[in-house]
């Protein structure tokens, strides 16, 4: 059976962060799992390189866009290589073959009548690169996805007849209830589709860094919408539009994506495929977002977790284990070193590492390291049954991408092994002339470790190879077949002595994250000046924009002492207070601050605060805010930064 697993392709406007690593680890583990089972597998990852955001990032660095994309794409590829990610192809949307494939797809859709030219006049969110019907706007103005103000835009565009696919999509979802995993995400998608699908603008004229229109259509002021271009990578990587060399892998078995790009993959992508008469993917695995110590990660807060830094400190396999074990698939997760260290010390070091050491020690003492499974069934049928039950349950978890449950179940094997040792006390049996029984217990545990190593292999490939080597076998499809499917026991062998696999971690090995400013409600900002300028999605993506600054740059920020004159709660908001703050005579500002969980409106009146006074005004929950308060936040909460003695309002800070 052939399997096709994909990650999203990563934007090349910043370095890889832990969220990218997570998507990649899940997909890599699934691909390795399928290969282990003997399935012919194709695993795709790569980079998404077109669009205005990337064009602008390159300009900022004074680099030709292609050169810039080459550099960042290489950082992703190098990182995945360093992490031994087992991809079969690393696609780039700037690859010539990909571009040709996209043009071919466009031509087919156009010829079919699914793409037509028109003008669009509508509400456009530049940040999300998406038009929204008025009915979906929040308060008739704000983007339903990111909360920013939308603009009314009129531009010539080619449209994809998405509206034609509304019923077909709904029918498809109904017939394939496990298309989206976890299933709970399906509702979100169906209700969006039921709300009405508008035709989708699939070309842009406002920038040129994109796949050109096919020559047969001409109209070269248009370039393709970055999402049409990007989504098609999943088939162009298999030779679509060229030699179709690997198209027999299509449809994909599992496409792993983060929840932020669900709609693109669950609605647009299937509609494009239907238009191209291609079958739809079997599953879309939708994971949640990672925060750091409870805070959203962003480069501006300086709290982005770099996967390379973590892997250098703790080892990439420990990181894979932690991320896949820590979070129920689909839910948001938090990266905290404390939680990571706890799992290394208790689950990897104690449960797995110590069990291996115990049997190396016991077999050394009782049988000169020789392990013979001959009596395992006789003395440990009960344990073997329990082990087999666990093994049989694992496949379902992996197919549903529930890696946390997979690992949780797998860990039951170690407790079966540990309990067997405690109950059977081989050290007593050896002394009481029941050596056969004692050796059978040791052999039972060796077999448990061998089976566990095979099943843990997709998640911790190198570590489990070491375990297998210690137990004198190698992990491959054949050993999977024998040990897991046929439930055979290990043949007579001599166990090897190895140093502890998982040394305990006493202290955090990386600096703690800097504490960040308070999070506010989703920002609803002022209209960008240049309406036509469009950005790619997602503000929190890492970028290179936060470097050390010159002192002059610091003084570009105007900090002033302010006195709070009035304060009140913002209705319907959990976090926001609306303040009137005096910055001196004739300068009273309205400031909306996300501090309600820590201060009441009453206690703030007549107190002093430090204000960033030259921020561009922004709307929060539709209320204009004309400054920002300085505050410090840690796990005990948030406190405002205030002058230590009263100062005249408006006094500069610096």
Binding site for ligand MSP (CB under 6 A): 8-11, 19-20, 22-23, 48, 230-231, 233, 257-258, 260-261, 289-290, 297, 538, 541
Q: Which is nearer to ligand MSP, 11 or 173 (CB)?
A: 11
Question: Nearest distance from residue 537's CB to ligand MSP, in Å?
Answer: 6
Task: Give Cα 520 distance to the centre of its chain.
Answer: 23
CB of 307 to ligand MSP, least distance (A): 11
CB 619 within 8 A of CB 525: yes
Angle at alpha carbon of residue 583, lines to 582 and 584, rounded to 5°: 95
Annotate 159-194 with DSSP letters as a single string: EE-GGGGHHHHHHHHHH-TTSEESGGGHHHHHHHHH
H/E run at residue 376: helix 376-399
Query: For ligand MSP, which is the closer residue by CB, 261 or 387?
Result: 261
Question: Looking at beta carbons only, is 254 or 505 nearer to ligand MSP?
Answer: 254
Beta strands 493-494 and 370-371 are antiparallel
Coarse DSSP helix, strand, coil percentages of the chain, rounded to the nearest 5 percent: 45, 20, 40
Beta bridge partners of 257: 286
Please identify, using beta-carbon distances, which residue of 296 and 647 lies nearer to ligand MSP: 296
Q: Which is nearer to ligand MSP, 233 or 253 (CB)?
A: 233
Pairing of strands 618-620, 223-224: unpaired
Nearer to ligand MSP, 31 or 297 (CB): 297
For the bound state, the minimum distance from the C-beta of residue 22 to ligand MSP, rounded and expressed in Å, comes to 5
Give the DSSP letter of residue 607. Answer: -
CB of 635 to ligand MSP, least distance (A): 20
CB of 359 to ligand MSP, least distance (A): 38
Nearest CA to 297 among 333, 259, 339? 333
CB closer to ligand MSP out of 230 and 401:
230
Which among 382, 440, 390 has a CA at the least distance from the CA of 414?
390
Q: Smallest distance from the beta carbon of 382 to ligand MSP, in angstroms?
A: 42
Residue nearest to ligand MSP (CB): 258
Separation of alpha carbons 307 and 628, rounded Å? 32
CA distance 96 to 93: 8
Q: Where are the alpha helices (DSSP H) in 43-197?
A: 52-60, 65-82, 96-111, 166-175, 186-194
Whose Cβ is closer to ligand MSP: residue 541's or residue 560's? 541
Q: For 106-125, b where at least 16 C-beta lie within 10 A, e where not — what string? A: bbbbbeeebbeeeebebbbb
Shortest Å distance, C-beta 544 to ligand MSP: 14
Smallest distance, ligand MSP to C-beta of residue 259, A = 7
404 vs 541, beta carbon nearer ligand MSP: 541
* DSSP bridge pairs for 591: 579
For the bound state, the minimum distance from the C-beta of residue 424 to ligand MSP, rounded and expressed in Å, comes to: 45
């Amino acid at each position: 059976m052939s399997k096709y697993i994909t990650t999203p392709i990563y934007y090349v406007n910043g370095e890889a962060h832990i969220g990218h690593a997570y998507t990649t680890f899940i997909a890599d583990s699934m691909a390795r799992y399928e290969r282990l089972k003997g399935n012919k597998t194709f695993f795709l990852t790569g980079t998404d390189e077109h669009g205005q955001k990337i064009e602008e990032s390159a300009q900022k660095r004074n680099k030709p866009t292609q050169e810039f994309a080459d550099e960042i794409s290489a950082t992703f590829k190098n990182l995945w290589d360093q992490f031994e990610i087992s991809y079969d192809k690393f696609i780039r949307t700037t690859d010539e073959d990909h571009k040709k494939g996209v043009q071919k797809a466009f031509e087919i859709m156009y010829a079919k009548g699914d793409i037509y030219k028109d003008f669009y006049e509508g509400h456009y969110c530049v940040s999300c690169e998406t038009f929204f019907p008025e009915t979906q706007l929040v308060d008739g103005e704000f983007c339903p996805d990111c909360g920013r103000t939308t603009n009314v835009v009129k531009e010539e565009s080619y449209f994809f007849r998405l509206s034609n696919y509304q019923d077909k999509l709904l029918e498809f979802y109904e017939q394939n209830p496990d298309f989206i995993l976890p299933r709970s995400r399906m509702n979100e998608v169906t209700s969006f589709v039921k709300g009405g699908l508008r035709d989708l603008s699939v070309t842009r004229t406002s920038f040129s860094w994109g796949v050109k229109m096919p020559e047969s259509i001409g109209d070269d002021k248009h370039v393709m919408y970055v999402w049409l271009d990007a989504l098609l990578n999943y088939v162009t990587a298999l030779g679509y539009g060229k030699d179709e060399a690997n198209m027999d892998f299509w449809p994909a078995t599992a496409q792993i994506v983060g929840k932020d790009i669900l709609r693109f993959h669950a609605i647009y992508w299937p509609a494009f495929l239907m238009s191209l008469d291609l079958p739809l993917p079997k599953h879309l695995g939708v994971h949640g977002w990672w925060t750091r110590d409870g805070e959203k990660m962003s480069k501006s807060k300086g709290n982005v977790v770099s996967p390379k830094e973590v892997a250098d400190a703790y080892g990439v396999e420990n990181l894979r284990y932690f991320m896949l074990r820590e979070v129920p698939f689909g839910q948001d997760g938090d990266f905290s070193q404390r939680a990571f260290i706890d799992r290394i010390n208790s689950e990897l070091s104690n449960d797995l590492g110590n069990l291996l050491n115990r049997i190396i020690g016991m077999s050394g003492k009782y049988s000169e390291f020789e392990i013979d499974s001959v009596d395992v069934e006789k003395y440990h049928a009960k344990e073997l049954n329990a082990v087999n039950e666990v093994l049989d349950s694992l496949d379902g978890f992996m197919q549903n991408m529930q890696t946390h449950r997979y690992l949780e179940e797998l860990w039951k094997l170690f407790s079966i092994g540990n309990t067997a040792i405690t109950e059977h006390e081989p050290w007593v049996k050896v002394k009481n002339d029941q050596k056969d029984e004692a050796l059978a217990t040791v052999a039972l545990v060796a077999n448990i470790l061998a089976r566990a190593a095979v099943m843990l292999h997709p998640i911790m490939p190198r570590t489990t190879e070491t375990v297998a080597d210690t137990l004198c076998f190698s992990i491959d499809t054949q050993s999977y077949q024998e040990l897991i499917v046929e439930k055979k026991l290990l043949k007579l062998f001599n166990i090897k002595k190895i140093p502890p696999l998982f040394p305990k971690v006493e202290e955090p090995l990386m600096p703690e994250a800097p504490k960040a400013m308070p999070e506010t409600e989703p920002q609803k900002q002022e209209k960008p000046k240049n309406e036509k300028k469009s950005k790619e999605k997602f503000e929190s993506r890492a970028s290179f924009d936060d470097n050390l600054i010159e002192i002059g740059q610091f003084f570009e920020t105007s900090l002033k002492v302010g006195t709070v004159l009035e304060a009140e709660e913002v209705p319907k908001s959990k976090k926001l207070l609306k303040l009137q703050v005096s910055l001196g005579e004739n300068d009273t500002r309205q400031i909306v601050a996300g501090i309600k969980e820590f201060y009441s409106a009453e206690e703030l009146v007549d107190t002093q605060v430090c204000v960033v006074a030259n921020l561009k005004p922004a709307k929060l929950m539709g209320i204009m805010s004309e400054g920002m308060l300085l505050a410090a936040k840690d796990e005990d909460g948030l406190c405002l930064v205030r002058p230590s003695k009263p100062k005249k309002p408006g006094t500069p800070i610096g």
